[in-house]
Amino acid sequence: MTDRARPNLQLMASKVMELLEPELAADDLEILDVRVFQGGGRLQVRIYVDLIDGGITLGQCAKAGRSVNFLMEEADIFPGQYVLEVSSPGVRRPLRTASHFKNALEQRVDLKVRQGFKSRRVRGELISFDGQQLKVELPIPTGSDAEKGEISKVLLKDILEANLDPDFDAKALINAARRKKKDERREERQARKKPKKGRPKNRDGK
């Protein structure tokens, strides 16, 4: 596939955001980010959603997924087949808007930053944000006697992807994934057991 034929993934993500944002906002849901990428020979569309006040449940996330799937099929944004995933933010919460970055001050962030025709990675503590530029304190190299790490300055318009980058151990992450799968299976069982509501009968049985 030539560069000219390669789909503009950022433009597709913007169209998805434009389509879904007002629809989900009516249900008190916020789209944190939309990421479109190639994987397994198909387009992969990953959408992160949360309640506006935070704390979305698995059931609410599944309901949002059904709404998103319907809207996407109606809009027909993507040519051919694609894989859609609607997910809660998790510990690596996506950051996209100015308010997201303001709320992430003094926390560790992981940024994918545009650099010419390529990109670079910036990971460290977000120490300031003025609405246009972020300052990220990079980790102190092993063996260094410096009291603080170097400061990397990043323009908001150059950020391709951004996430919180919290410290956690692998065991805690594995246990969290197991708990999530267990909760999902329990919700599925409860949904199957839930009795269907029939129409109320009149006193004469009609």
Which domain, by its residues, includes 121? 98-164
Separation of alpha carbons 129 and 127, rounded Å: 7
68 and 103 inside one domain: no
Final residue of a structural domain among 62, 87, 112: 87
15 and 47 inside one domain: yes
**163: nearest Cα among 102, 87, 112, 92:** 92
**102: nearest Cα among 74, 126, 66:** 126
Q: How far apart are the first and last CA of the chain?
A: 65
Burial of 178 (0-12, 13-18, 19+ CB in 10 A): exposed
Separation of alpha carbons 177 and 172, rounded Å: 9
Q: What is the pTM of this model?
A: 0.72
Per-residue pLDDT of the chain (206 residues; tens, 9 = 90+): 444 556 788 899 999 999 999 999 999 999 999 999 998 888 999 999 999 888 999 999 999 999 999 999 999 888 788 999 999 999 899 999 999 999 999 999 999 999 988 999 999 999 999 999 999 999 988 777 788 889 999 999 999 999 999 875 445 455 556 666 777 777 777 777 766 555 555 555 45
Residue 49 belongs to domain with CATH number = 3.30.300.70
